[in-house]
Amino acid sequence: MSAKVYDHKGRWRSLAVAFRMSPEENADLDRRVALSGLTKQDYFMQRIQERDVVVNGNPRVFKALRNQLVSVLDELQRLEAVSGENDELLDLIQYIAQILDGLKAEPSNTPST
């Protein structure tokens, strides 16, 4: 039998939680998790505990942002005008904008010249 794996607070997480969702809800969740840079478990734990999800910029997050922006651009090009019928697209654009705004507010690690 393998050794128990404890979290950073010394807790052994032995319970699994599952629930059903629509394919659209699952796609939205997967996008949000990818854009957060967290694992799905960590994303759920932070949201359940009513904590803000803090996105730390790393190559994986930037790749997810780029991919989402490309898909948003493709969708916008397909549409003649964004209207009230496109609430999901507008929500996604707002979510990406919040992440980008938070990333540019982080202090830079590069030395200034």
Residues in the chain: 113
Candidates 87, 64, 61; CA nearest to 75 is: 87
pLDDT digits (tens, 9 = 90+) for 31-90: 999 988 889 988 998 888 887 777 777 888 888 888 888 888 777 777 766 565 677 777
pTM of the model: 0.50
Name the least confident of 10-19, 36-45, 55-64, 99-108: 99-108
Residue 97 φ/ψ, nearest 5 degrees: -65, -40
In this prediction, residue 81 carries a pLDDT of 60
- SS in 3 state form for 10-79? CCECCCCCCCCCCHHHHHHHHHHHHHHCCCHHHHHHHHHCCCCCCCCCCHHHHHHHHHHHHHHHHHHHHC
Q: Is the dihedral of CA 85, 70, 30, 51 positive or negative?
A: negative
In this prediction, residue 29 carries a pLDDT of 93
